[in-house]
Amino acid sequence: MSQNWTAEIRTEEGKGASRRLRQADKVPAIIYGADKPAVSVSFEKNFITHAFENIDTFNSVIDIQVVGGEAEQVVVKDIQRHPASNMISHIDLQRAGTSNIITKKVPLAFVGQAVAPGVKIGGLMSFLQPTVEVRCLAKDLPTAIKVDVSTMEAGGSLRLSELNMPEGVILTALTHNNSDYDQAVVSITKPKRKG
C-alpha cells in the first residue's frame, strides 16, 4: 500500500526549533538512509494525526513530496510521542527505494480462529507473537502477514517456518540457521477433562 505525504524542509535544528515547530502545529521528522545525507523535514500535525490512525501506515511505502527538496520514498522506522498527551512529537523515516532492502516488524493477522477444530472442542488458542521481523525490498513490504489457523487441532502449534510468506519476504529469525529461533506463533491447549 502506498501513501502520499507532503513535507517542508526544516532549516533550524535543535530542541528549541522543534518546540517552536510543535507550537505552530507541525511535527518534526528526519529522512535518512540509502547512503544519502539525512534531511530534516516537518509535516502538518493534523495530517500526521490522521495518517497514524490507519495501522497500515507503519508498514506502507510512503511517497513524500518535499517542498524545497526532492521527492523521497520512505517507511516509518520510529515515532516518538509526548509522554502526557500521547501526541506524535517526532518521526524517523527510512529511505525505501526500489533496490533498498529493509528490516521491519510486521503484524500477524490471524484468521479462522472460530472454526479451528481445537477451539471447537474447548481448547484455548494463544497468540504468542503479535508481530514478526521481516527483511525484504521496500516494494514487497506487506502491511500484515495472514496466518490461517482454521485447521489447527488441540495440542497443536504453528511455528515461524510454517507461515506462508509473501514472495520476496524473509523472516529474519529463520536466517540464523538455528532451530531455536523457529518459535511458535500460535498454539491451542487441550481442553481440560471434566470429572
Q: Which domain holds residue 86?
A: 2-95
Please compute Rg for the chain using Cα positions: 21
Q: For residues 111-125, give the mean pLDDT.
A: 94
Where residue 142 falls (left for φ over 0; alpha for ψ -120 to 50; beta otherwise) is beta
Please state the rounded mean pLDDT for residues 161-187. Answer: 93
Q: Are residues 70 and 90 in the same domain?
A: yes
Q: Is the pLDDT at 2 greater than 70, yes or no?
A: no
Q: Is 162 found in the same domain as 136?
A: yes
- What rounded mean pLDDT belongs to the chain? 90
Neighbours of 153 (CB within 10 A): 13
pTM of the model: 0.76
119-155: pLDDT as tens digits:
999 999 999 999 999 999 888 889 999 999 999 999 9
The rounded distance, in Å, linking the Cα atoms of 114 and 124 is 11
Counted domains in the chain: 2
87 falls within a domain = yes
CATH number at residue 153: 2.170.120.20
The residue written with cell numbers 481440560 in the block is 192
Please give the backbone phi and psi of residue 118, each rounded to the nearest 5 degrees, phi first.
-65, -35
What is the structure's pLDDT at 182?
Answer: 94
CA distance 89 to 71: 23
Asked, for residue 108, whether it belongs to a domain, the answer is yes
- pLDDT of 4 strictly over 90: no
Residue found by looking up cell 506524535 in the block: 88
Same domain membership, residue 76 and residue 36: yes
